[in-house]
Amino acid sequence: MTSKELEKVLLSEVSLNNILESVNVFSNLHRYSGTPQAEKAVDYLESKLNEYGVNYECCKYTGLFSIPISSTLTVQGPGGKTYDALGCVLSGECENLTAPIYYDALSLEKNLTEVQQEERYKAFKGKIVLSWEGRASFAAVAKKAGALAMIHIWKDDNNLLHHSNIGPVWGTPTPGDCDTLTYLPAVTFRQKDAKEIISLCEKGEVSATLSVKMDTGLRESRMPIASIPGKSEKFVLLAGHYDSWYEGITDNAAADAIMLEIARVIHKYQEELGRSIRIAWWSGHSDGRFAGSTWYCDQFYENLKKHCVAYINMDICGCKNTGKIIARTTLMEGMDFTADIIEDMTGIRPNKYVTMVKGADQSFWGINVPIAIMAKNEPLPGNETLYGKFTNPGGGPWWHSVEDTIDKLDTDAVLRDYTFNTRVIASVLNAETLPVDIPGFLDEMKKQLKEISDSSDHNDFCLDPVFDKITSLKPLAVKFGQKIRTMPKDLSDELIKETAGKLVRVTYSMVDEYHFEPALSSAFAGSKSTFTGLRIGMNRNRENTKPQSYLFAQTEFIRQRNRLKDVLSQVEYIMKKYIEEES
């Protein structure tokens, strides 16, 4: 059965009623990892997989999970007011912590120099810092500067409290990570409430009392991993997180339900699958900083590195006011692969790539997976403020809040997300050759690197050797691409992992194959997810940076450049070896 034929039968079998049944079950469960309600969700997934006859393994692991219990901030003095707040994942606890509030106005400024930042942070000592920044990297800086606590002003002006995270470690920490866990008392705060306090701060010193109660500790959690064998051991990994904030309908109950239906339908056509598929429901996504997917990568590393050829992640699905689909990808499969599907479904053809984010359980860079795709669903032009202004993912301001309820579900969007992901999966499962475009990816690498080079000092942060290497590799990649399309599927899959997979790994990761880089804020912003280690030289010069910091940055840059050149040489060697053997 061809990819198109497989796609056709998989789309014809979908049952919207099945999907909605699962969403309704999850709508009654607050699925915090390792808690009784989360385990009930696992029981339900297992019962349905058993009903459908789908083989699965239920993995159990121990993770470090963090859930806020209660948080308040009370402004001292006449007319003092108490505000609700929301503890960040891995926040420290405090009870009646009273201190002056410092409004970090410079947090609104961009591109501050190192010297300016140093002066800014001096004011934090002994203060409760009210700031527009609030991720892990800022919490570390604030703690080092002597801040007693951090209040993160939410960037969108709505009446909701949104969950956030100051955990800097991807997955479960190791002994070497312990010092990076700040456990600084940290909360998110409504913008309208923050503006009231800012007005008070502008009139003089303001003191406040902060209380934060958290439930942070070790718990056991289960994750169902379904396995549907095809003719080849090489497999597609389809996954999404089942843990949520509250009932989390669009993040991520709808995706969980769609994945369950995909498992049911694909199982019916198991005999037609060219490659295998695994379907995983992760826990520890929000409350454990991607603990579940990272644990799975650690525990099954060898098998994943040998056999996993694609990772399709589903996160924020079935959401109303998301008529536009954008594909986040590694860029390796080429623009047309997802653009053709999206245009066929919506009539709108994407005109640019969106690089994959370093979030949403993207825990598999170390295993040389060449293809990683995750749809980003957002409002159509003109509908961006239909439910108010917001900058978070999805179709409205309810992300990571108590308002992510079943009324936010759109059944047309549910079927669309089933369709898009099923078409992507079918196109990989039964492709004669995996859909990769290595020459095109090399061009994309050069574009990303040029962005870095154009904003870096050419003498001290020079990328010319890398550009030369990529230029010389491209003609070889063209020949290699022609060769792999004439070979048996399993052999081409292995070679694609060893070449395309390595190129993806070195583009999206700044550490070795066995470790995970920090889960810091820069990783979530567009093209910053690529070549993170080389970006250390951007907008940096000897005038705006202290000599010691400049030397350290140069050293990191050189090591990252060496790493990139070395991987390019490894890929070149594999390509040459194969082409020469076949000649």
Distance CA 380, CA 77 (A): 47
CB 329 within 8 A of CB 360: no
Does 78 or 285 have the greater pLDDT score?
285
| Mean pLDDT confidence for 91-100 | 99
pLDDT score of 583 more than 90:
no
pLDDT score of 168 more than 90:
yes
DSSP state letter for 103: E
Q: Which CATH number fits domain 10-65+218-430: 3.40.50.1000, 3.40.1160.10, 3.40.50.970, 3.40.630.10?
A: 3.40.630.10
- Which residue(s) pair with 165 in the sheet? 89
User: Mind listing the pLDDT tens digit for each residue in 228-255?
Assistant: 999 999 999 999 999 999 999 999 999 9
CA torsion sign for 248, 163, 279, 347 is positive
Domain ranges of the chain: 10-65+218-430, 68-216, 438-581
Domain boundaries 68-216, CATH class: alpha beta
Distance CA 143, CA 213 (A): 19
Q: What are phi and psi of 214, to 5 degrees?
A: -125, 160
Neighbours of 88 (CB within 10 A): 28
| Mean pLDDT confidence for 184-207 | 97
pTM, two decimal places:
0.97
Query: In a 10 Å sphere around its CB, with 0-12 CB exposed, 13-18 middle and 19+ buried, how is residue 96 labelled?
Result: exposed
Do 10-65+218-430 and 68-216 show the same overall fold? Answer: no
Give the least confident one: 176-190, 373-387, 428-442, 527-541. 527-541
Distance CA 456, CA 450 (A): 10
User: Mind listing the pLDDT tens digit for each residue in 313-332?
Assistant: 999 999 999 999 999 999 99
DSSP state letter for 152: E
